[in-house]
Amino acid sequence: MIELIKKKRDGQALNKSEYQELINGFVEGKIPDYQMAAFLMAAYFKGLNPEETANLTDTMMRSGDLIDLSEIEGIKVDKHSTGGVGDKTSLILGPLVAAAGVPVAKMSGRGLGHTGGTLDKMESIKGLSVDMTREEFITQIKKINIAICGQNARLVPADKKLYALRDVTGTVGDVSLISSSIMSKKLACGADAIVIDIKVGEGAFMKNVKDAEELAKMMIQIGKNMNRQVIAVISAMQQPLGRTVGNALEVKEAIQTLKGKGPKDLTDLCLELGSHMLVLGEVAPDFDSAKSKLEELIQSDAAFDKFKELVQAQGGDINMVENMGDLPSTKFLKDYKSPQAGYINKLDAMQIGLASVQLGAGRATKESQIDYGAGIILHKKIGDTIQKGDILATLYANEESFFEKAESFMDKAYQFSDKAPQEQPLIHKTVRYNPSKSKV
């Protein structure tokens, strides 16, 4: 291990067998944290070349169970988001894409810190279970074309151990380490093709488009090396996506979007990501025809019907979906009002996410309990004109004392100006592999 640390410290590349020795030894407890921490810091400063990143990803992927989805007919297309505030796209995309004929085998995670988790949102529907055996998972996809469940604890254990160490040693931000973390989990889940939504902005890990594009290229290259098609969409996260932040609140907005009544930014992003998924799944010849197909599925209620099928198949109370008033709510609500007139110039997604945690909608630690009804509805967003005293947002909590803490974050989230801010694009860039040029 000392030789491997020195090799990377001196900027040399490790080969595949060396990465196998490194990762397997760490997972088995033969390599202590302090040595792996030293290696991670060396990797952070010296970097990994594309071949090393692919070898690291492959070794991490094989450190635990691999999900074989080959018995499910069709091209299985997965979607991954790098995390954001108000990002309920999986709740919409899963049923929408499944209704179009693409099998959706989705393994999702829980929320931590300022970002929400798909599983927590789904569990705000009474009775719905996200715990499934491999057999139940595959059987459900064969039957209704979609299943969304929690990740198996035996899936990529190397990533769980490595990420925990990266988090406390300041080595999270390396593009190769981020790429291998994301792709090892996605590839272990058995997808044939993957659409990755890379968030950029105040509420995202990636703060600028240049870094996001570098990450996109790295993940696409890993996919190519492992015979998987990957498309990356770089999207904005300078403000929350949609108008709701919280679990049941986001489920309501997802249902409204599936019915064609959702906010424009959320609808547009889902159509963008979903269209790429349909093309990769070979149920549409090109992006425009895929988008038209998705719009028809929303207008005809076929997408919403598929969502109801999903909820029912996983034991959820269908009455909560058909009558959204039955979803969890809170005892108290409070309007957050504008301190001045003008335009909203900034709406910091991270601060809004942290405010929602204070209300009980998110986790400060992995052990924190979630209040499914808590959260925030945003009535005004960037570019909107406001008068002093206008309601900018409504806060929901089951403890009145939570409002004061949350409002301290809300105060940091908003900035105002006398002039309308320049409109920012929702989609910054789409990155894909070009076979004719043999590069991203």
For 53, 140, 360, 422, 429, the CA distances from 126, given in Å and listed in that order, are 42, 19, 18, 43, 38
The length of the chain in residues reads 440
Residue 159 designated active-site:
yes
Residue 181 designated active-site:
yes
Catalytic residue among 8, 76, 79, 80: 80
DSSP letter (8 states) at residue 91:
H
Sign of the Cα torsion 45, 49, 54, 59 reads negative
Residue 121 designated active-site:
no
Residue 418 designated active-site:
no
Catalytic residue among 180, 181, 184, 356: 181
Rounded Cα distance between 344 and 167, Å, is 34
90 closest CA partner among 131, 152, 146, 160: 146
Q: Are 250 and 241 in contact (CB under 8 A)?
A: no
For 165, 349, 362, 363, the CA distances from 410, given in Å and listed in that order, are 32, 10, 15, 18
Catalytic residue among 79, 166, 228, 293: 166
Rounded Cα distance between 330 and 398, Å, is 5
Residue 108 designated active-site:
no
Catalytic residue among 78, 120, 159, 197: 159
Rounded Cα distance between 306 and 301, Å, is 9
Catalytic residue among 110, 185, 291, 363: 185
80 closest CA partner among 5, 214, 172, 179: 179
Which residue type does 306 have? Answer: K
Sign of the Cα torsion 209, 211, 215, 220 reads positive
Q: Which residues are catalytic?
A: 80, 159, 166, 181, 185
